[in-house]
Amino acid sequence: MTDSPNPVLDSRMETAPREPAGAVTALTVNGLRYRWPGAPGDVLDIEALSVAAGEAVFVRGPSGCGKSTLLSLLAGVLVPDSGEVCALGQSWRALSPSGRDRHRADHLGYIFQQFNLLPYLSVLDNVRLPCRFSARRARQTPPGGAESLLARTGLAERHWRQPAGALSIGQQQRVAAARALIGTPELVIADEPTSALDEDLREGFMDLLLGVCADEGSALVFVSHDSRLAARFGRVIDLPSVNRAVQA
Amino acid sequence: MSALWSLALRSAWNRRFVLGLVTASIALSTLLLLGIERLRHDVRDTFAQAVSGTDLIVGARTGPVQLLLYSVFRIGNATNNIRWASAQALAQHRAVAWTVPISLGDSHRGFAVMGTTRDYFERFRHGDREALKLAQGRVFDGLFNAVLGAEVAHRLGYRLGDPIVLSHGDGAFEANDHDDKPFTVVGILAPTGTPVDRTVHIGLPSMEAIHLDWASGAHLPGQHVSAEDAAQHDLTPRTVTAVLVGLKNRAAVFGVQREVAAYRDEPLLAILPGVALDELWDVVGVGERGLLAMSALVSVVSLVGLVAVILAGLDQRRRELAILRAVGAGPRQVLLLLALEGALVTACGVALGVLAGAAVLALGAGWVQARFGIALGLYAPTVAEWQLIGALLGAGWLASLVPGWRAYRLSLVDGLSPRT
């Protein structure tokens, strides 16, 4: 059924995960359907999708296949027209808008492709930003937690107090990873975080992100059009394959 | 909430050049609004302080405001004088406790000259029933003595014993100088903050003496009475400009006013200074309200500028909003953030305006006092001024909700994928 360009990946393409018993599933998607307001057809139609606690998942798909929409739905920023998306056992739909914002603040870290940081805040303040909006994450951050995360990124200490706008793009993406992971959120969503980086920086970034997620036990949903990165992940999902809306 | 405050602060500081311009414009409009209100208040205060303790002022039948203006404030000229006989009749009225006639018309280098009696210096009160005090010297007791107001002495540098030449009318022509009869400064009054400071006081006989060889406003050619001979003539005044009246019983004031209006021998007018002043404010009030309305409009303009600047910058900040959403800020917090920003800029602008106003007052009050006689005080804002400040801050907060709302909608629509 799937027309995969890389047969080596086939064996790892599954939609159903194997998860340890007793852990809260990081993400569950059931019968998800979504269309943009005024659009003629669905942009997303996914029967079932799950991400186990602590699992790292690579979601592959070309541009325009609805990746960003899917991520907004997974993060609870959008609500599906029908079906359900549950993050950490909590259905997004069941929450009020402010409840969704709180749930997102407490349990989710997000990484954009670029421009992740507020340029007028210092690097340290950027890393600590989620703690301003979530008391839970602030509690889960030990004193000096931001500094130790930044140390893991390899960013020199002299940059830590500079405005974030002064860093190079490679440095900014590494800081973005630290910010997404402060306060040990259970779920990290990354939207093409390496697409703006060149090859040398890419490998270093992947090491950092996968390493810290594994250490903290955070689930990772990594979206990209670049299949070469899929090799580092235990599980790969081909979005066009699971999205019935794009299948003729 | 405090997280949003510090974010709003840092974000605004990041755009401080443009926001600084808006702050300056708000500061200017605040300065204008508060300045006009302060001026209004102080002008009324100054005028109200000018005379107290006088129950009635009687003069020729002009209008109440006009009579008040020329008799107390030396503004404008009397259309007519009243005869000495009428002044006498008034003094002998059964309800009258004291009268002080005054005679105006001459000047000295821009300052008014007033002929009056020695009683003036005891009866005339100003402010809170304060009497006139002499800083130096004594009240006039000779024919060509003059007592100067504090301002006259200070600005023209007169000391006791100096000679002083008076001029007829406004002193525009040198030919109008009464230079054949020079006066001597025998007293200088302490400052009062009223038109008294800007007046040269002489006795009524002295006023008569210098006009012995004048008629209809000009020196009669061929006639010349020297200073020595003047004392030989009868120096009872023929006319006076106005009479200040104190009654035995204040309750009789309206009755006396009616009697003066009905006086058969001469058309007279009696005014209550407070009532006439209120009439003046009624007239002036229209202009004041117009000025205040204009300054309010100016404030609205500057707030519109604030809203426009923040709105225009919002498109650039869509990524910023997406980042905030990603770290857990909701659309409502985004709205609050922008509203806080606007409120902050308004507050800074208003504070700056108040400080600028204080600085202008500190520097310019002296000049205004010298030029216009209005005492501008450097005191804390009055209740009315606080109300204006509160209104400005409230309006700024409300206006900031407009870009706040737009940011709210944008962050809802954009979610985590801003369109840039």
- What are the structure tokens assigned to A67, written together? 């990746």
Query: How far does B155 lie from chain A, in Å, by closest CA?
Result: 58
- Judged by CB atoms closer than 8 Å, whether chains meet at A78 and B415 is answered as yes
- What are the structure tokens assigned to A33, written together? 């359907």
| Alpha-carbon gap, residue A82 to A80, rounded angstroms | 5
H-helix or E-strand spanning residue B336 = helix B331-372
Percent of chain B with pLDDT over 90: 40
How much is the pLDDT for B223?
Answer: 65
* pLDDT exceeds cutoff 80 at B216: no
Buried b (16+ CB within 10 A) or exposed e, A141-175: beeebbeebbebbebeeebbeebbeebeebbbbbb
H-helix or E-strand spanning residue B18 = helix B16-49
Closest chain A residue by Cα to residue B14: A120
H-helix or E-strand spanning residue B199 = strand B199-203
Query: How far does A116 lie from chain B, in Å, by closest CA?
Result: 6
End-to-end CA distance of chain A: 12
- Judged by CB atoms closer than 8 Å, whether chains meet at B13 and A120 is answered as yes
| Alpha-carbon gap, residue B382 to B165, rounded angstroms | 45
Q: Decide: B124 and B132 in contact? Cβ < 8 Å.
A: yes
How much is the pLDDT for B304?
Answer: 93
Task: Using pLDDT thresholds of 50, 70 and 90, give the confidence band for residue B168.
Answer: confident
| Alpha-carbon gap, residue B82 to B235, rounded angstroms | 17
B49 to B260, B281, B361, B376, B412: CA distances (angstroms): 26, 14, 20, 13, 62
Closest chain A residue by Cα to residue B330: A101
- Judged by CB atoms closer than 8 Å, whether chains meet at A112 and B330 is answered as no
Apex CA B365: angle with CA B363 and CA B367, to 5°? Answer: 90
Burial bucket for residue B250 (CB in 10 Å: 0-12, 13-18, 19+): exposed
How much is the pLDDT for B268?
Answer: 93
> What mean pLDDT comes out for the span A241-245?
84
Closest chain A residue by Cα to residue B327: A130
A144 Cβ contact list (under 8 Å, min separation 6) = none
Work out the mean pLDDT of chain B and round it to a whole number: 87
How much is the pLDDT for A4?
Answer: 46
Contact of B329 with chain A, judged by CB distance below 8 Å, is answered with yes
Task: Tell me the per-residue pLDDT of B244-257, one tens digit each, with 9 for 90 and over.
Answer: 999 999 899 999 99
| Alpha-carbon gap, residue B52 to B169, rounded angstroms | 28
> What mean pLDDT comes out for the span B19-32?
93
Task: Using pLDDT thresholds of 50, 70 and 90, give the confidence band for residue B24.
Answer: very high
For the four alpha carbons of A133, A138, A144 and A150, in that order, the dihedral sign comes to negative
Give chain B positions within 8 Å (CB) of A191: 416
* pLDDT exceeds cutoff 80 at A12: no
ipTM over 0.90: no
Work out the mean pLDDT of chain A and round it to a whole number: 85
- Judged by CB atoms closer than 8 Å, whether chains meet at B333 and A97 is answered as no
Best mutation target among B6, B7, B416 (most A Cβ atoms within 10 Å) is B416
Query: How far does A25 lie from chain B, in Å, by closest CA?
Result: 21
- Judged by CB atoms closer than 8 Å, whether chains meet at B10 and A121 is answered as yes
Give chain B positions within 8 Å (CB) of A100: 330
How much is the pLDDT for A22?
Answer: 52
Contact of B411 with chain A, judged by CB distance below 8 Å, is answered with no
- Fill in the DSSP letter of residue B226: -
- What are the structure tokens assigned to B395, written together? 């309006």
Contact of B18 with chain A, judged by CB distance below 8 Å, is answered with no
Mode of pairing for the β-strands spanning A82-87 and A90-91 = antiparallel
* pLDDT exceeds cutoff 50 at B214: yes
Task: Tell me the per-residue pLDDT of B305-317, one tens digit each, with 9 for 90 and over.
Answer: 999 998 988 888 8
Select the more confidently predicted residue: A24 or A239. Answer: A239
Give chain A positions within 8 Å (CB) of B331: 97
What DSSP string describes A68-119? HHHHHHHTTSS--SEEEEEETTEESTTS-HHHHHHHHHHHEEEE-SS--S-T
How much is the pLDDT for B387?
Answer: 93
> What mean pLDDT comes out for the span B363-373?
78
SS3 B153: helix
- Judged by CB atoms closer than 8 Å, whether chains meet at B328 and A106 is answered as yes
Closest chain B residue by Cα to residue A106: B328
How much is the pLDDT for B414?
Answer: 82
Burial bucket for residue B148 (CB in 10 Å: 0-12, 13-18, 19+): buried
Task: Tell me the per-residue pLDDT of A20-52, one tens digit each, with 9 for 90 and over.
Answer: 555 678 888 888 888 888 888 888 888 888 999
Q: Decide: B192 and B50 in contact? Cβ < 8 Å.
A: no
Q: Decide: B395 and B388 in contact? Cβ < 8 Å.
A: no
How much is the pLDDT for A11?
Answer: 47
